[in-house]
Structure 1
Amino acid sequence: MRLRHPSGTPLHLGYCTNVHPAEDVAGIVAQLDAYAVPIRDRLDAGVLGLGLWLAAPAAAELAAGPAALRRLRGELDARGLEVVTLNGFPYAAFQDPVVKHAVYRPDWTTRERLAYTLDLARVLAGLLPGDAARGSISTLPLGWRDPWDAAMADAAARHLDELAAGLAEVEAATGRTIRVGFEPEPGCVVETTEQAVAHLSRADTERLGVCLDLAHLACAWEQPAAALKALAAAGLPIVKVQLSAALETAEPQALREYAEPRFLHQTRTRAGEQADDLDEALARGLPGTWRVHYHVPLHAAPAAPLATTAPVLRDALAELVGGPQPLCDHFDVETYTWNVLPAALRPGTPAELAAGIAGELDFARTQMLEAGVTA
């Protein structure tokens, strides 16, 4: 969907397709009909934005095959769908039965991560609508924090320099600007705004910046206004915003039904206690109020004593789009955990999942409208 900031800047709002399991081009096209088209129809949207997730083999196939890329663009256009952003965080197998730490591999110390991201840039240049100002790609925040030493940091820095050079080559060849945003996440080398500034501000900030995930920001117990001020002071652009909400509670035993085997659910307390997964946090009995890296539906508050960090999302949107100029123009709803929610909350059919995602997008659109943008 497209919204408009009072300054006249178009704002793109869509949903991330990493909630779906397909990893080849045929499967991705099938997902458009199963989910994206029904979502667009429910929202009565002329055009629906997708934050497309392409596993590495599909990205390589499309980047190497202009005919295949044109076919995918045609399939999107025919269904009233558009792509201005790609999710390049998971490399592959993101909806496998067990993902956990595997999602952080390969990391930015490797050539594989660089090659994958540049493949995505070539693909996105071919998918961007003609009137889009630029494209964006989100990626992992360098790597998991352990192990991470000086040699790994140097290797990652070299690859970021090569990434910026490669993006410049894509722009020279296609005329399309693609930027990459590194997504701070609990447990990673870059978890907080302070760490983002420390690790990324020396990069080419014309093409590289931050992907701000609002559930992650909340789990770090950061205030949106202060975080955005720090990023601006360091000259780090916000390339993309992921609209997401985490779980929060002062009664952690209510979280037991959310412990599950597929994804990591890093847990942080207001007092600064940390655990790398919800099972660990429950076993240790961390004191105080918890925030848990568990992306939950934006529009459906869980039963008390559980709550979500949706207030952080609202505060962030007020900062991001409430000023004279927007601080970002790409907004992606990213709730990839629909299929691991507690059984009573989990969609049982594709139609139910499409209805849930449509509800989230409607919620996100409403929050942005209340922050001052127009439809």
Structure 2
Amino acid sequence: MRLTHPGGSTVHLAYCTNVHAAEDLAGVVGQLDRFAVPVREELGVDLLGLGLWLAEPVASALAADRGLRLGLRRELAARGLEAVTLNGFPYQAFQAPVVKHDVYYPDWTDRRRLRYTLELAAILADLLPDGAERGSISTLPLAWREPWTSDNADSARKLLSELSGGLAGYGGRIRVAFEPEPGCVVETTTQAVTALSDVDTDYLGVCLDLAHLACAWEDPAQAVARLDAAGIPIVKVQVSAALEIADPAANLDTLAEYAEPRFLHQTRSAAGAAFDDLPEALASGAPGPWRIHFHAPLHAAPLPPLTTSVPVLRQALAVLMESPACDHLEVETYTWGVLPDAARPVDDAGLARGIAAELAFARDELHALGVS
């Protein structure tokens, strides 16, 4: 959706398609009719933005054939869809039965990550709709934190320099955003400032995922001010919410319903305890409150005593929309398929309704901030 900031600029709101499994172009196009069009119709809008996730085999095929890229653009336009942002964090197989640490590979020490990201840039340059000022691509925060040596850092630095060089060919129209995430080399905005201190900020910046921000127990205003003071642009925002629990010890059975085998659910306590996955946290006895990296549907509160970090989301959006500091917003709840049974959609229509409800929630939050 295209919204208008009180200052007159366009704010793009999309939903991320990494919630759907597709490893080829036919699967990507098939998702448009199965999910994206029903979401658009449920919202009652003429134009819906997608944060497309294109697995590496799809990206490779599209990058090699401009005819395919223009064909995908036509498929989007024919359905009232558009893409100004791509999610380039997962490389492939993101909805496999077990993902866990695999999502962080290849990382930014591996030339395959550079090649994939530049493929996405070539694709996005041809997908950008008329009137869109620029496009964005989110990517992983360099790597999982272990192992990470000075040699790893040097390798990544060289690849980021090559990335900037490749993006320069698009005249500033395509930017790449590194997404701080719990457990990674870059987990916080403070670490982002250090890691990106010597990059070309005309082309590279940060993707601020609001669930990750909450899990790091960062104050949104301070985080945005920190990046601004360092001259690091917020290229993209993922409008997401983490699970939160005040007293985990009294609610282990409820929390265990979210300890599923597909994704990592890094858990952080307000006191600084850190766990790489929810089962580890459950066994720890660490006192709460906890925030858990489990992207919860924005519009639907979980059953008490669980809550979500939506209050952090609201604080962050209020700060981000002041300027605005960012004009690419993506709802990224990729966990619909691993929710507890009572909250999980039972069919395609149910998933489309849930995604539409999240987008409506995000739109209403932006409306409350004067973004119409």
| Shared fold per TM-score greater than 0.5 | yes
Say whether 1:238 aligns with 2:230: no
How far off its partner does 1:201 sit? 2.1
Aligned to 1:84: 84
- Correspondence list, 1:119-130, <5 A: 119-130=119-130
Whole-angstrom distance in 2 between the partners of 1:288 and 1:10 = 40
Q: Is the 8 A contact 2:16 2:53 kept in 1?
A: yes
Match of residue 360 from structure 2: 362
Deviates more, 1:96-105 or 1:250-259: 250-259
The residue that corresponds to 1:216 in the other structure is 212
Q: Which amino acid aligns with 2:149?
A: D
Of the three residues 165, 177, 183, the one matched with 1:187 is: 183
User: Distance in 2 between the 1:130 and 1:303 partners?
Assistant: 43
* Letter of the structure 2 residue corresponding to residue 161 of structure 1: S
Please, which of 212, 222, 227 is the counterpart of residue 226 of structure 1?
222
- Rounded to whole Å, the distance in 2 between the matches of 1:111 and 1:302 is 41
State the partner residue of 1:96.
96
C-alpha distance after superposition, 1:321-355 (max 9, x if no partner): 1x2x2100000000000000001110010000000
| Cα distance per residue 1:55-95 (max 9 Å; x no partner) | 01100100110111111111001000000000000000000
- Residue type at the aligned position of 1:199: A
Match of 2:243 in 1: 247
Listed one character per residue, the Cα deviations across residues 138-196 of structure 1 (whole Å, up to 9, x for unaligned) are 00000000000000000001000000000012x15xxx710000000000000001100
What letter corresponds to residue 366 of structure 1 in structure 2? D
* Equivalent residue letter for 1:304: P
- 1:251, distance to aligned residue in structure 2 (A): 2.6
Distance 2:148 2:44 in 1: 47
Equivalenced residue count is: 368
C-alpha distance after superposition, 1:22-64 (max 9, x if no partner): 1111001110000000000011111000000000110010011
* CA distance, structure 2, for counterparts of residue 139 and residue 90 of structure 1: 8
Residue 315 (structure 1) aligns with: 315
What residue is the counterpart of 2:138 in the other structure?
138
1:208-260 C-alpha deviation (Å, 9 max, x unpaired): 00000000000000010000000000000000000000000023213111100
Q: What's 2:152 paired with? A: 152
1:258-315 per-position Cα deviation (integer Å, ceiling 9, x unaligned): 1000000000000000100001000112112100000010000011110000000000
| 2:38 equivalent in structure 1 | 38
Partner of 2:336: 338
| Inter-partner Cα distance in structure 2 for 1:6 and 1:149 | 46
Amino acid at match of 1:261: P
In 1, Cα distance between equivalents of 2:243 and 2:72: 36
Residue 200 in structure 1 maps to residue 200 in structure 2: no
Match of 1:264 in 2: 264
Range with bigger deviation, 135-144 or 253-262 = 253-262
1:245 corresponds to which letter in structure 2? A
Question: Aligned-residue CA RMSD in angstroms?
Answer: 0.7
**Scaled by the length of structure 1, what TM-score is found?**
0.97
Q: Distance in 1 between matches of 2:247 and 2:180?
A: 27
Amino acid at match of 2:101: H
Distance in structure 2 (CA, Å) of the matches to 1:72 and 1:193: 35
User: Is there any run of 5+ residues in structure 1 with no aligned partner, and where?
Assistant: none
Q: Counterpart in 2 of 1:348?
A: 346
Contact 2:139 2:179 in 1 (8 A): yes
Give the AA of the match of 1:181.
A
Secondary structure of the residue that 2:283 maps to in structure 1?
helix
Distance 1:6 1:201 in 2: 32
**Partner of residue 279, structure 2:** 279
Among all aligned residue pairs of Structure 1 and Structure 2, give the percentage whose two residues are the same amino acid. 65
Greater shift in the superposed pair: 83-92 or 66-75: 66-75
Q: Which SS does the other structure have where 1:163 is aligned?
A: helix
Cα distance in 2 for residues equivalent to 1:201 and 1:56: 29
Distance (whole Å) between structure 2 residues aligned to residue 115 and residue 298 of structure 1: 34
Structure 2 segments unaligned to the other structure (5+ residues): none
Letter in 1 for 2:188: T
- The residue type equivalent to 2:337 in the other structure is N
TM-score w.r.t. the length of structure 2 is 0.98
Does the CA-based 8 Å contact 2:247-2:287 persist in structure 1? no
Equivalent position amino acid for 1:32 in 2: L
- For residues 210 and 319 of structure 1, the distance between their equivalents in structure 2, rounded to whole angstroms, comes to 16
Partners of 1:125 and 1:207 in 2: CA distance: 14
